[in-house]
Amino acid sequence: MPENHKPNSTTKSKAETAVTDSDNIENDVDSVDDKDAADIDIEIDDIDDDELNDSETASTSEADESLKEDIGKKINQLRLAKGYSQRKLAKLSGLTNTSISSIERNKVSPAVNTLKAILTVLGSDLTTFFSDEWKEPKARVIVTPKDLLELNEPNSKVSLKQVYNCSRTRNLGFLIETYQPNSSTEEKIAHEGEEIGTVIEGKIIIRIEDSTYLLNQGDSYVIDTIQPHTFINPTDSITRIVSAHTPTTY
C-alpha cells in the first residue's frame, strides 16, 4: 500500500466514534434521568409537606372549635349546677357579666388563668374539667321543688329560683321569685334580653332608670332588661312573682 494512503493513527474509525457517541448519549440520558428523578422527588416532597400541613391545620382548627364548644357548655353546666347566676360567677371570679356570657355562648375562649379562676369558684379544676369522663346531664321533663336552682345568696331577702331541667337547647328561662317584706333586688340590674312576669301575690315596684311602676296582684310587666332596673317590695307582706326571660342565661 502506498505510504500516503496509510491510515492516520490519530483518526478514529466509524466504529470507535459510534461507541464513543453511544457512551456520551447514555451519560446524557443518565444525567437527565437523575435530574428528572431529583425534580420529581422534590415536587413529591413539596406536595406531601403541603398536604400534611393543610391536614394538620384543618385537624387543629376542628379540635380548637370542639374544645371551644366544650368549654362554654361545661362552664354553663357547672354554674347552673352550683346555682350561681352569671352575675354572681362574674363577681366571684373577678370578671364581668358580659365576659361570662360570651364564654358560655362560645363567643370567646378564656385564657388559662381566666378559666382557672372560673373553675375555682365553681369547685372544679383543669384536670377534672378536661377529663374524658365528663358526662352531660340528661334533660328532665319534671322539675320538682328540690330541683329548683336558687340564684341568690342563701341569706338574701329575695329568692330567685330558676326552673332548670339540664337542657342546653332550651330558649326560655323561668323564675319563681319571692320578696320578703321591705326587700329589693340589687340596685340597677342590667342584662341582655327581655323579661315578662306576673305578680301572683302582694305588690312590687319596678324602677327602670328614672321611671317607677307599681304593680298589684294580677298585674304583669314586660321590660327590656338591658335597661338598668330594680324590683322593690315596699310592703310588710311577702310578694311573689313568676317570670320568664330570654335568653336563658341570667
Whole-prediction pTM: 0.60
> Is the separation of the CB atoms in 194 and 223 below 8 Å?
yes
Greatest CA separation for the chain: 149
Q: What is the reported pLDDT for 136?
A: 72
Output the pLDDT for position 179. Answer: 98
Residue (of 87, 106, 105, 84) closest to 97 by Cα position: 87
Strand spans (E) along the chain = 149-150, 158-162, 173-179, 183-184, 194-201, 204-208, 211-215, 220-224, 229-233, 239-246
Cell of 203: 305588690
Q: What is the pLDDT of residue 128?
A: 86
By the 10 Å C-beta count (0-12 exposed, 13-18 middle, 19+ buried), 154 is classed as: exposed
Distance CA 96, CA 102 (A): 10
3-state helix, strand, coil in the chain (%, to 5): 40, 20, 35
Tell me the three state secondary structure of residue 250.
Answer: coil
The single residue listed with the C-alpha cell 364548644 is 69
pLDDT of res. 12: 47
Gyration radius of the chain's alpha carbons: 38
Contact 149, 164 (CB under 8 A): yes
All 3 cell numbers of residue 5? 494512503
Residue stretches of the chain with pLDDT short of 50: 1-20, 22, 25, 29, 32, 35, 37-38, 40-47, 51-52, 55-60, 62-63
